[in-house]
Chains A and B, each alone.
Chain A
Amino acid sequence: MRRRSAAAAILCLAGFAWPGMSSALTGAAPLEEKARAGKAAPAEQRRIRGAYLARAANCMGCHTARAGRPYAGGRSLSTPFGTFITTNITPDMATGIGGWNEEDFWKAMHEGKSRDGRPLYPAFPYTEYTKITREDSDAIFAHLQSLSPVSQKNPSSRIDFPYDFEPLLILWRAVYFKPGVYQPDSLKSREWNRGAYLVQGLGHCSACHTERNPLAVVRGAYDEDSSGAQIMGSNWYAPSLTSSAEAGSAKWPMGEIIRLLTTGVSRLATTSGPMAEVVGQSLQHLTKEDARAMAVYLKSLPESNPRPKAGAPALTEEVQKLFRQGAGIYKRHCQDCHGDAGQGAPGIYPPLAGNRAVTMNPPVNVIRSVLNGGYPPVTAGNPRPYGMPPFAQTLNDGEVALVLSYIRNTWGNRASFVTRAQVDKSREGIH
């Protein structure tokens, strides 16, 4: 109790700083919250704002175990470098961050250092959070400190050799990590800057989406040449946000970008796996203004050099024969939902014709879709989603490869063959 009021006092003092922050970055708090915040004391206002920012940064998503106490940590994130166990960030003195102050917290968010000075692993995306302003960091801290303390000691991370060697981490940081708050671009609109701040900082999109970035060193972003390539310990490929053949939105109408980010489905694409989680836990809670700002920024991103496409097969008689087999499987198992021309029912059953997720290289995500099935996230905008059945139990590797090769090369789609070996690799751990 004593600690809480002390914290509140500190927040009150510091609270006057934030209304004066760079206007480009002052996002809207949820409207009804804003109304409440208008009447509330500054410390209270900041706490409410912090709760919203923590959502946008999805702190809870990582710092909560499945069905565990929110923010009490214990979720394991498996990476090719070992298994990280997230920490308890409730204000518990013994097991959480109850003993931390704003300065300690800022060091973690901005510099990636724990309270005792230990460099943190970038499984905690401070590489992106470093762009967050001091004011926002303090607000998030105020929110976390206002939670009820949960006493929960989590197991420690198991980092594999040689990544557990601290000097290596220090070296990596020296080379690849530059702390620095987001600097608004004065040539761009306020909305664009807000979007950039959300995407690059709070939303930490590039923690998953940037290909072959420095993070690959530690995070293992997909690399076609390396075997057993993984994203965050799973067989997911996070497509590039700057390539319209992947996840770029330059050619999309604004409305569809916003719809995808906030409801999990759109007429042109559907989210699944880790992205479904990001939408369900974080993005669906964005205010209209912030979702729009994000879309404005994403739409403006210049086209990057697309990764070289693995070639589509020449349509020889042999290949046509395989496609006919694939077409048979499609008709039996897929056509009811995705349609005879791959047209689907946009917003419900994704169209497969002209769907870049289908033709993407590497084909790991579509292999996963067919093996595991899944539902897009439940969101306020899509409260009762339709789902896709898993086929791991019904189709063998060869059949999955055939049906995928077919849908990647029909209705105007063109992409490389999916091989039996690629399917097999994705099956790992599935029974």
Chain B
Amino acid sequence: MKRDIPVTFLFAIALAHAAGFATAATPIEVPNTMAERVKPCVVCHGLEEKTGRGNYYPRIAGKPEGYLFNQLRNFRDGRRYYRPMALLLENLTDQYLLEMAVYFSTLEQPYPPPERVALLPAKTKLAQKLVNEGDPARNIPACTECHGQELMGTAPFVPGLLGLPRVYMIAQFGAWKSGGLMRGQTEDCMSEIAKQLTAEETSAIAAWLASQPVPRNSGPAAGLSAGMAERCAGIVHGGARR
């Protein structure tokens, strides 16, 4: 992996003068780092309190790199719809998106405190059952089978489920279900599972997940079991779902 060496660029201003542009001040110093290059992302995916913005922006730091890379390409190429990101990424190549994905996957960022959600005991039970056991009758595996025992994701393509805003998760389920513009058209194993869940189930799951604390010193699990890898072949092998 490439390491960024902080260097500062200082440009001669003579040229600007030659061209008739009087720039009195010294150019600002810009660190030659990936952190500096992804500043545009951090306005939305950063740390600061997101109150008043619908608390909608998903966390990306520490997510598996393959997953992040796939999502970035999906946004740029219109397979997942969110216009501000599509516009931001439109001039960027796969190689640069991969660099961004690698950067965010290795970024350590404290998690927000769990959301405080009042959940009826029956709903809690419903959520926990699906998360830990799934529903074999409907061919729904436990969420943990793919998202890791700790729900912190599985490298390199399956994202973690903790530390995500509740409304964000509900929106994702909605998108998979309606097969609409946002996420429905991606051929991933997740969409089949999401389509089978009822609205009651998804709202219970989202509320429960959002209210769970994130385990300390935890990261994505190592790999999927053969069965789950098979089920997610489109992502695991395609990687590039072109």
Interface residues of A (CB under 8 A from B): 66-67, 251-253, 256, 264, 267-268, 276-277, 280, 336-341, 343-349, 351, 353-354, 372-378, 383-390, 392-394, 412, 429-431
Contacts of B53 in A (CB 8 A): 393
B130 to chain A, nearest CB (A): 31
Interface size on B, residues (CB 8 A): 46
Known A-B contacts A253-B15, A256-B19, A268-B16; the reply to A372 vs B88 at CB < 8 A is yes
Q: Could you tell me if A345 and B9 are in contact, using CB atoms closer than 8 angstroms?
A: yes
A51 to chain B, nearest CB (A): 20
Known A-B contacts A384-B37, A389-B43; the reply to A375 vs B27 at CB < 8 A is no
Q: Could you tell me if A343 and B26 are in contact, using CB atoms closer than 8 angstroms?
A: yes
B7 to chain A, nearest CB (A): 12
Give complex CA distance A338, B96 in Å. 23
Question: Which residue of chain B is the closest to A430 with respect to CB atoms?
Answer: B83
Q: Could you tell me if B92 and A375 are in contact, using CB atoms closer than 8 angstroms?
A: yes
Q: Could you tell me if A389 and B19 are in contact, using CB atoms closer than 8 angstroms?
A: no
Q: Could you tell me if A267 and B40 are in contact, using CB atoms closer than 8 angstroms?
A: no
Question: Which residue of chain A is the closest to B2 with respect to CB atoms?
Answer: A384
Q: Could you tell me if B22 and A354 are in contact, using CB atoms closer than 8 angstroms?
A: yes
Q: Could you tell me if A339 and B28 are in contact, using CB atoms closer than 8 angstroms?
A: yes
> Is B24 part of the contact surface with A, judged by Cβ < 8 Å?
yes
B186-242 at interface with A (beta carbon < 8 Å): 242
A97 to chain B, nearest CB (A): 24
Question: 5 tightest CB-CB pairs across the interface, nearest first?
Answer: A67-B77, A341-B25, A389-B40, A354-B21, A343-B25
Q: Could you tell me if B40 and A387 are in contact, using CB atoms closer than 8 angstroms?
A: yes
> Is B91 part of the contact surface with A, judged by Cβ < 8 Å?
yes
Give complex CA distance A256, B96 in Å. 25
A111 to chain B, nearest CB (A): 33
Known A-B contacts A267-B16, A268-B16; the reply to A346 vs B11 at CB < 8 A is yes
> Is B110 part of the contact surface with A, judged by Cβ < 8 Å?
no
Contacts of B42 in A (CB 8 A): 389
Contacts of B40 in A (CB 8 A): 373, 375, 387-390
Known A-B contacts A345-B27, A373-B40, A389-B40; the reply to A267 vs B11 at CB < 8 A is yes
Q: Could you tell me if B77 and A66 are in contact, using CB atoms closer than 8 angstroms?
A: yes
Known A-B contacts A345-B30, A378-B91, A385-B37; the reply to A393 vs B44 at CB < 8 A is yes
